[in-house]
Amino acid sequence: MSAGVEGEVATLRLVSAGTGPADQAGEVLGCCYAPEGAFVLSAGWDGQLRLWETARAAHVTALRVSSKPVSACAISPDGGSWLAGTLDGFLSRWNALTHEQTLLFLAHPRPVSAILYGGNEHTLITASWDGNLIVWDLTRERHGRTLAGHRDIVAGCRLTPDGQTIVSWSHDGTLRTWDMARLRPMRVFAGHSDRVTAAAISCDGRWVVSGSRDAQLRLWDLQTGAEHASTTLAGEVRSLLCLLDGETVVAVDFSGRLTLHRLADLEMVGELVTYLPTQCAALAPSGGQIALGCADGRVRFVAVDGFDSKPLQVTARPTERPSSSMLRRLFGRRKLTPAFECICPACRESVELIDARTGQAQPCPKCRRPLRVSAIARLASPWPSTPHR
């Protein structure tokens, strides 16, 4: 079943009920896509990480990582490692091919609610029921900086497209922003009257959308903290996903109802009712699929259709390319010229951008899909710093 406004927004379509092992037990508490989008990793109440193939919506393999429920999971940017956070606060890392454990330590005194890479292989951000976030330097064992300020469970966190700001949300009814470079608090977003259970950041980093247990959806200006729009849904919000058209946000509630909203004013412009008891959701790197983690322990998949001709929003990264004149080549000298690159969501290739100005649309040099630069990443590492755990 799919719905939408033709020519204006995407449409959603349930493509598979998903297949899984007969011994699957308990809810899926978290899920995430691999960088190339071909697989989804899920965190289960049964203490296992499970891998699912997105093309066939089929279960591939399972790895028992704990005797306690796995409450959060992540895949490293190179796809080579799986991370698991558990209800007893432990964080572990596993080789994705050999299933060998490569790291294990107590990250928080209470359950880990979210795991997020901070723009590179070595920086990790965890959120916890203890009310804190911690930014970890994985090159130095158990070296972390604590971000304290929330007064209740931190339900999740995300990084802005430019890599400069962490956005966290909490059961204390607020969202907070944190300076990634200095690891300092920035702004508090207050307005929800119940637990904030989900949030998403727009592709251009201008807006943050938040949802709560009382079904309230709110749109905030990320720079000023001002509330821009609000609406009420049918049930508790479990996940929020900003689509790569830069114009639409998808809200997922506990009953498996997915609603599409115009990002500018949160007006609902379409919906898909799956009747699946949904715990979590994730958007594919290509923007063309949504994974739903369900209460029966399985992952289902929803296709995102309808904006093939629209430019996909990408984040540009500064880089350098060698350039030299004939004279320089004669003497074996090279000059590095500033340039910009991005990962094309459609073909997953790293491409150099002809024009990296924000808002400019251009075809991908590899697949010709139109791309639009929505943000420029200038990630500044917080390390080295003095730990203050």
Is the pLDDT score of 1 beyond 50?
no
Fold of 11-305: Methylamine Dehydrogenase; Chain H (2.130.10)
How many residues make up the chain in this entry?
389
Quickly list DSSP for 119-134: SSSSEEEEEETTSEEE
Residue matched to tokens 């400019």: 360
Q: How confident is the model over 12-28, as pLDDT tens digits?
A: 999 875 566 644 568 99
Is the pLDDT score of 366 beyond 50?
yes
CA distance 331 to 381: 36
The count of other CB atoms within 10 Å of the CB of residue 78 is 9
C-alpha triplet 74, 76, 80: angle, nearest 5°: 115
CA distance 252 to 236: 9
Q: What is the pLDDT of residue 108?
A: 98
Helix (H/G/I), strand (E/B), else coil: 327:
helix
Peptide bond into 384 cis (omega under 30): yes
Q: How confident is the model over 140-188, as pLDDT tens digits?
A: 877 899 999 999 999 999 999 999 999 999 999 999 999 999 999 999 9
In one letter, which amino acid is 6? E
- 196 pLDDT tier (thresholds 50, 70, 90): very high
The sign of the torsion formed by the CA atoms of 18, 242, 307, 274 equals positive
User: Would you say 195 and 215 are in contact if contact means Cβ atoms under 8 Å apart?
Assistant: no
Element (H, E) at 257: strand 257-262
Q: Which tokens belong to 189?
A: 């977003």
Q: How confident is the model over 105-115, as pLDDT tens digits?
A: 999 999 999 99
Q: What is the mean pLDDT of residues 372-386?
A: 72
> What is the average pLDDT score of the chain?
90
Question: Which of 130, 137, 183, 136 is closest to 154 using CA atoms?
Answer: 130
Pinpoint the residues of the chain covered by CATH 2.130.10.10.
11-305
The count of other CB atoms within 10 Å of the CB of residue 62 is 18
Q: Which tokens belong to 274?
A: 């799956």
Q: What is the pTM of this model?
A: 0.91
**Which value, in Å, is the radius of gyration of the alpha carbons in the chain?**
21
